[in-house]
């Protein structure tokens, strides 16, 4: 009977293949997700990124006014950069929260749950080092 070794070989193959694929696609998403922000050469932002800064007000109490960490929340700029948190992952974390670790779930708060792309865009621009902290200037219409 050769069937068992064959199954094992195939399982190993698919395991490696699948994980490589998932890893690669996460990396791609992270690269692509720069699209969530617009920052011009003068450091001015589009409306969505600006709104992201505004909505981040809900988070700054814990994560710090500049998202670099506060009394009760970690530095989000480092988290996004080091863990390559893409938009989908971000949305998942923020909407569900980690209630047992002090991170609230935001899926019930329309001030936040309608604007995940904007908040991600703002944080990502900061994390990519393209935007400074504080109230951003808007690109004039
Ligand atoms: C009441 C305090 C509090 C508020 C408000 C808060 N967070 Fe958090 N957040 C935390 C804590 C504490 C953690 C760390 C949880 C852990 O240890 O896994 C965390 C973790 C996170 C993470 C995961 C970081 C990582 O390293 O994996 C993200 C992303 C995040 N918060 C985004 C947000 C956003 C966006 C908002 C606003 C909409 C927000 N948080 C508001 C306390 C808070």
In a domain, 89, yes or no: yes
In a domain, 133, yes or no: no
Query: Tokens in use for 81?
Result: 């950069």
Q: How far is the CA of 17 from the centre of ligand 1 (A)?
A: 33
In a domain, 132, yes or no: no
In a domain, 136, yes or no: no
In a domain, 24, yes or no: yes
Sign of CA dihedral 76, 77, 81, 86: positive
In a domain, 35, yes or no: yes
In a domain, 14, yes or no: yes
Q: How far is the CA of 63 from the centre of ligand 1 (A)?
A: 7
pLDDT (0 to 100) of residue 24: 65
pLDDT (0 to 100) of residue 103: 98
CATH code of the domain covering residue 75: 1.10.760.10
Coil, strand or helix at 98: strand
Q: Is 119 in the pocket of ligand 1 (CB under 6 A)?
A: yes
Chain-centroid distance, C-alpha 94: 9
Nearest Cα neighbor of 76 from 130, 136, 120 is 120
Q: Is 122 in the pocket of ligand 1 (CB under 6 A)?
A: no
pLDDT (0 to 100) of residue 25: 65
Tens digits of per-residue pLDDT, 78-95?
999 999 999 999 999 999
Tens digits of per-residue pLDDT, 67-81?
999 989 999 999 999
Number of domains, the chain:
1
C-beta neighbour count of 19 within 10 angstroms: 10
- State the residue range of the domain holding 37: 3-127
In a domain, 138, yes or no: no
Of 24 and 107, the one with more pLDDT: 107
Give φ, ψ of 38 to 5 degrees: -130, 120
């Amino acid at each position: 009977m050769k069937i068992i070794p064959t199954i094992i070989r195939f399982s190993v193959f698919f395991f490696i293949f699948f994980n490589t694929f998932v890893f690669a696609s996460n990396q791609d998403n992270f690269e692509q997700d720069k699209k969530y922000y617009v920052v011009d050469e003068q450091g001015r932002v589009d409306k969505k990124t600006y709104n992201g800064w505004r909505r981040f007000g809900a988070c700054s109490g814990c994560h710090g006014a500049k998202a670099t960490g506060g009394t009760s929340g970690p530095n989000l700029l480092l988290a996004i950069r080091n863990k390559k948190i893409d938009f989908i992952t971000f949305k998942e974390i923020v909407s569900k929260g980690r209630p047992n670790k002090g991170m609230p779930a935001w899926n019930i708060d329309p001030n936040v749950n309608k604007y995940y792309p904007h908040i991600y865009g703002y944080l990502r621009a900061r994390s990519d080092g393209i935007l400074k902290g504080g109230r951003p200037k808007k690109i004039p219409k």
